[in-house]
Amino acid sequence: MCRLLAIKSKCKFSVQPYLISFAEMCKESKEFQGHGWGCSVLTDFGWKVYKNIKPIWEDEIPEFGPVTQLLAHARSAFRDEGIIVENNMPFNDAKYQFIFNGELQGVTIKESGRIGAEKIFNYLKRFDKGNTKFAIKKGVDVINKKTRYIRAMNIIISDAENLYVNNMFNEDPDYFNLTIHQKADFTAVCSQKLNIIDEWTLLPNNTIKVI
């Protein structure tokens, strides 16, 4: 399964140190995270998106200049299928940036999308009537009811103003439980602790947090 990183800061920051630390974490993961990677960064000129089919630890980490948000995703493709750069996250539209980690078995909902994560993104948007947290909660609840088994369904969405984090897993908490570092002006959420940041706390299971 994939690895996630999201950072939101009141002060502008450089993404490179955090992505380098994230790349090291991905390289050392117990599951292979080398089926490509991608990131979205929020600049003064809006979102910039970068994707590459290389493993993140083999790529030259780009420098985007000062940003206030970062969402990064390293892919571990289900059954090693669909390994093309178009399937790399973040997925996005005019409003949202979306990254996902997890595995769902026996899903009965029907939705458009090349891979399961994109289908989840599109499905959650069905419930968006202006309240993003409600849309995520409603969508996750329906997916949960219409799925035979969920190993994990970890979701991070940004609308440029807030980060929305859904932390949900039914096994292997050491691997699936998201962890958070939160200060007054800087918040990071990651699949594992990054060495570059101190003082991490595990997020409670089955929760949606707005940052």
For residues 184 and 89, give the distance between their C-alpha atoms in angstroms, rounded to a whole number. 28
129: tokens are 């009537």
CB–CB of 116/107 below 8 Å? yes
At residue 116, the 3 state secondary structure works out as: helix
173: tokens are 């908490």
Query: Could you list the residue range(s) of the whole structural domain that residue 98 is in?
Result: 3-210
CB–CB of 59/51 below 8 Å? no
Report how far Cα 102 is from the mean position of its chain's Cα atoms: 10
Total of domains in the chain: 1
What confidence score (pLDDT) does residue 1 get? 78
Mean pLDDT score, 127-145: 96
Q: What is the CATH number of the domain that holds 109?
A: 3.60.20.10
Share of the chain above pLDDT 70, in %: 100
What's the pLDDT band for 77 if we cut at 50, 70, 90? Answer: confident
Over the stretch 154-178, which tens digit does the pLDDT of each residue have?
999 999 999 999 999 999 999 999 9
What confidence score (pLDDT) does residue 78 get? 76
What's the pLDDT band for 81 if we cut at 50, 70, 90? Answer: confident
In this structure, what DSSP letter does residue 78 have? G
- Give rounded-to-5 percent helix, strand, coil for the chain: 25, 35, 40
